[in-house]
Amino acid sequence: MKTRTLGHPLFTPGWGQVVLLILMVLGLGCQTAEDGLDEHWPAEQLQDSNSTPTWEEAVAMAQRLADQDHRVSLHRLGKSDIGRPIHALVLLAEEDRSRDEEGAHAVQNRLETQGGGKVTVLVNNAIHPGEPCGVNASFALIQDWLALPDGPQNPLNAANWVFIPQYNVGGASRRNCCTRANQNGPESYGFRGNAANLDLNRDFVKMDSRNAEVFVDLFHAVNPDVFVDTHTSNGADYPYTMTLITTQPDKAGPVMGPFLREVVEPALYQGMAQEGWPMVPYVYSKGETPEAGVVGFLETPRYSTGFTTLWGTLGFTTEAHMLKPFADRVKATKSFLQVLSDWLLSSGPEVLSMRKEEARRVADARELEVRWTLAQDQRDSVDFTGYASQRMWSAVTQGTRLRYDTSQTWTKRIPFDNRYVPSATERVPTFWVLPQAWRRAVARLQANGVRMTPLPRDTVMLLEVSRIESFQSAKKPYEGHHPLTIDSVSRSVQPVQLYRGDWQIPSGQNARRYLAEVLSPKAHDALLVWNFFDSALQQKEHFSGYVFEDTAEDLLQGDEALRMRYAAAQTVHPEWKDNPRLALRWLYEASPHYEATDNRYPVYASP
Ligand SMILES: [Zn+2]
């Protein structure tokens, strides 16, 4: 497959058509005759071909839509990790009057002035550019919608739609034929990792990529009520073309959770069945095949929908099945968005009031759950049609292999383990204090619009301090980090020295749940877990035993209480007899020589 690259983003205001013309002359831009594609990518081609647009083609197509119909506006957001911009395509019932194309604030202005009172949907495509069904589906859907007559059934009268045509611009530009080894088309596509080889769908809390900065900026500008991230599955074979990860309802909480389970999911599943694309929950198989059941996916805030749930947004990940023809995957993804739109025609107001209720719940919560685990004693089940499978001799390995027989199906109810229970709950303090020294963490919070005030002067405050008693770090890098597993945390109230400019962060703000989950050391995707505070977890000063022996002797002689505590400790630690260094270590830690900040988590809470 041809790889096309351009030196830099050429699409600046007013340049769109000129640049397009130059690119076409140079043979670099739109599809060429040898691709067998029409240069305008009409809806049929987007849906019926085995091709997906390159980044350049997607931008050109988006620009053309915005030029042709002013209900569409194309906005250039910040830069991706390869320097080219990420775009947002906004589709509203009213024509864009300002034609301001620069930045997320232009999107926000347009939504605020022209989209008021309606539900807003954000659709993210090609976070994994090898899974581009949503790119084709979104462009085809927008073309369909723009051709519809105005009236109460027009989707734009029910909702504001914001599309990110291609999010992982760097990955999209690594065009190749084959890295999706098990996937049935398209003929060429981008690569999963971004320019820094990051999986952007693990990057929403740690924000290592510029893409994540752009996303977070857009997300807060749009403040979507519904979010959809489009993907293609991996894993088992089965007849369904579309599967769905709804943000985990128990993790979503007591307002969003039941709404998702009882109102939204039945409508979406029923709608998809009526459209001829019966859908099942994402097949995360318990065993080798789906027959043994599937497990509900817990998408913590590192994932897009886990992140959007922190802000009360209803999040969905569509996972079209990798072995179905690309054209079918595109159609099923498009149908999902259409079904969602149809549902919003009647239920948009319900979504808006649910979201207000969720905001009230979080604002009033004295405690928030920050960690969940699969329930052992509760299970759901789901009707499922699967392919017969068998294990047979492998000519390749001479061992056994799995083979699905797609001519034979079975239908039954299979276990669906999708009940999660909280495994850690945190008190929400009135405020947190984050010293300015931890500026990488501060920057993440600021990127999310967190309100914080600098302390006006140096001070000592009595605050709740967490000590990380026990933790482990990953031996191998994972997404650019060595994430920590926090095993135990102790808490005490202590005086803490703070300085002018350290940050006081009130919990009474929109970011309340976000703050609880990125600042709690017990949360799945806390900034602590992602190594933002690693230097706090290393002791800086040590002692030499032969010197400290004499110091310890003096200490014990002068402090009766210490003598008694030491004697008690000796009785519970008989192993000290064989390892006197451990006894000395205990005395060192009990002495004023030991640094009080060892393993002290440097985010403090009001007591
Ligand atoms: Zn994916």
Q: How far is the CA of 339 from the centre of ligand 1 (A)?
A: 21
The confidence score (pLDDT) of residue 417 equals 96
Q: How far is the CA of 377 from the centre of ligand 1 (A)?
A: 30
Average pLDDT over all residues of the chain: 92
How many residues are given for the chain?
607
Give the pLDDT band of residue 20 (cuts 50, 70, 90). Answer: very low
Q: How far is the CA of 603 from the centre of ligand 1 (A)?
A: 34
Q: How far is the CA of 233 from the centre of ligand 1 (A)?
A: 7
The confidence score (pLDDT) of residue 306 equals 98
**Domain limit, last residue, from 346, 364, 382:** 364
Inter-CA distances, 321 with 242, 266, 274, 427, Å: 6, 21, 19, 42
Q: Is the Cβ–Cβ distance between 306 and 382 less than 8 Å?
A: no
- Judge if 437 and 356 occupy the same domain: no
Nearest-angstrom CA–CA distance, 382 and 419: 13
Would residue 391 count as lying in a domain?
no
- Judge if 245 and 166 occupy the same domain: yes
Q: How far is the CA of 311 from the centre of ligand 1 (A)?
A: 22
Q: How far is the CA of 414 from the centre of ligand 1 (A)?
A: 24
CB neighbours of residue 596 within 10 Å: 10
- Judge if 325 and 449 occupy the same domain: no
Q: How far is the CA of 231 from the centre of ligand 1 (A)?
A: 4
What is the per-residue pLDDT across 254-313, written as a single tens digit (0 to 9) for each?
999 999 999 999 999 999 999 999 999 999 999 999 999 999 999 999 999 999 999 999
The confidence score (pLDDT) of residue 39 equals 55
Q: How far is the CA of 326 from the centre of ligand 1 (A)?
A: 15
- Judge if 274 and 360 occupy the same domain: yes
The confidence score (pLDDT) of residue 540 equals 87
- Judge if 217 and 342 occupy the same domain: yes
Q: Is the Cβ–Cβ distance between 368 and 426 less than 8 Å?
A: yes
Kindly report the pTM of this predicted structure. Answer: 0.91
Give the pLDDT band of residue 554 (cuts 50, 70, 90). Answer: very high
Q: How far is the CA of 210 from the centre of ligand 1 (A)?
A: 19
Give the pLDDT band of residue 124 (cuts 50, 70, 90). Answer: very high
Task: Give residues with Cβ within 8 angstroms of 158, minimum separation 6.
Answer: 118, 119, 341, 344, 345, 348
Structural domain span for residue 181: 16-364
Q: What angle do CA 440, 442, 444 make, to 5 degrees?
A: 75
Q: How far is the CA of 368 from the centre of ligand 1 (A)?
A: 29
Q: How far is the CA of 574 from the centre of ligand 1 (A)?
A: 54
The one-character DSSP state at 458 is: -
CB neighbours of residue 272 within 10 Å: 23
Q: How far is the CA of 232 from the centre of ligand 1 (A)?
A: 6
How many domains does the structure of the chain reveal? 2
Note the Cα 348 to chain centre separation in Å: 24
Would residue 10 count as lying in a domain?
no
Q: Is the Cβ–Cβ distance between 362 and 517 less than 8 Å?
A: no
Once rounded to an integer, what is the mean pLDDT over residues 347-365? 98
Would residue 485 count as lying in a domain?
yes
Give the pLDDT band of residue 235 (cuts 50, 70, 90). Answer: confident
Nearest-angstrom CA–CA distance, 525 and 517: 7
- Judge if 291 and 176 occupy the same domain: yes
Closest CA to 365 of 316, 312, 313, 315: 312
Once rounded to an integer, what is the mean pLDDT over residues 47-72? 94
Once rounded to an integer, what is the mean pLDDT over residues 476-482? 98
Q: Is the Cβ–Cβ distance between 140 and 47 less than 8 Å?
A: yes
Between 39 and 457, name the one with better pLDDT. Answer: 457
Q: How far is the CA of 167 from the centre of ligand 1 (A)?
A: 12
**Domain limit, last residue, from 364, 388, 415:** 364
Of the CA atoms within 13 Å of residue 462, those in its CB half-sphere come to 2
The confidence score (pLDDT) of residue 360 equals 98
Q: How far is the CA of 225 from the centre of ligand 1 (A)?
A: 22
Q: How far is the CA of 119 from the centre of ligand 1 (A)?
A: 26
Q: How far is the CA of 317 from the centre of ligand 1 (A)?
A: 9
Nearest-angstrom CA–CA distance, 228 and 208: 22
One-letter amino acid of 12:
T
Between 205 and 4, name the one with better pLDDT. Answer: 205
Is the model's pLDDT at 7 over the cut of 60? no
Nearest-angstrom CA–CA distance, 414 and 383: 6
Angle in degrees, 0-180, between the axes of helices 560-572 and 580-590, rounded to the nearest 10: 140
Would residue 137 count as lying in a domain?
yes
What is the per-residue pLDDT across 363-401, written as a single tens digit (0 to 9) for each?
999 999 999 999 999 889 999 999 999 999 999 999 999
- Judge if 251 and 347 occupy the same domain: yes
Would residue 379 count as lying in a domain?
no
Nearest-angstrom CA–CA distance, 377 and 375: 6
